[in-house]
């Protein structure tokens, strides 16, 4: 069975400006999250992939996260296939996630709620 995309996030140098932009463009609203300055995107439709907007000093970063059973194992496999770990498995309330870059440098996240 394949693994679905389970989350996305937009990271910006000025996340408040990003929220204003996307809120006005798409009618999105935002709810606070556990990470200071990070908010969840609310689109008013329960049948959507959840997402968030937060700060990135580098700015201009959009990432999608693929659901996996074991984040550490997925990151290890990514390395074996020629990728590099950008962020090791990190746990926050309700989810464990990590980031890797593929051989071309594209950053992709993996996440598990188990």
CATH code of the domain covering residue 32: 3.10.180.10
pLDDT above 80 (res 46): no
The pLDDT-based confidence of 1 (bands split at 50, 70, 90) is low
What pLDDT digit, counting tens, does each position of 101-112 carry?
998 888 999 999
Same structural domain for residues 80 and 113?
yes
* pLDDT at residue 20, as a whole number: 96
How many separate domains does the chain show? 2
Does 106 reside within a domain?
A: yes
- Looking at the whole model, is its pTM more than 0.75? yes
Same structural domain for residues 24 and 50?
yes
Please give the backbone phi and psi of residue 12, each rounded to the nearest 5 degrees, phi first: -140, 155
Same structural domain for residues 44 and 23?
yes
Picking from 88, 110, 114, the residue whose alpha carbon sits closest to that of residue 4 is: 110
Give the domain extent around 20. Answer: 9-55
Q: What whole-number distance in Å separates Cα of residue 45 and Cα of residue 34? A: 22
Does 80 reside within a domain?
A: yes
The answer to whether residues 86 and 105 touch, using CB atoms and an 8 Å cutoff, is no
Does 113 reside within a domain?
A: yes
Same structural domain for residues 40 and 72?
no
Give exposure, 42-79, as e/b (b: 16+ Cβ within 10 Å): eeeeeeeeebbbbbeeeeeeebebebbeebeebbeebe
Same structural domain for residues 85 and 49?
no
């Amino acid at each position: 069975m394949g693994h679905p995309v389970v989350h996305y996030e937009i990271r910006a140098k000025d996340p408040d400006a990003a929220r204003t932009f996307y809120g006005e463009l798409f009618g999105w609203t935002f709810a606070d999250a556990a990470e200071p300055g990070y908010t969840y995107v609310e689109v008013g439709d329960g049948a959507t992939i959840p997402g968030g907007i937060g700060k990135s000093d580098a700015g201009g970063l959009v990432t999608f996260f693929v659901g996996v059973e074991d984040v550490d194992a997925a990151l290890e496999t990514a390395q074996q296939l020629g990728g590099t770990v950008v962020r090791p498995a990190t746990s926050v309330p309700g989810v464990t996630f990590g980031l890797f870059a593929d051989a071309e440098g594209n950053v992709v996240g993996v996440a598990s709620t188990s």
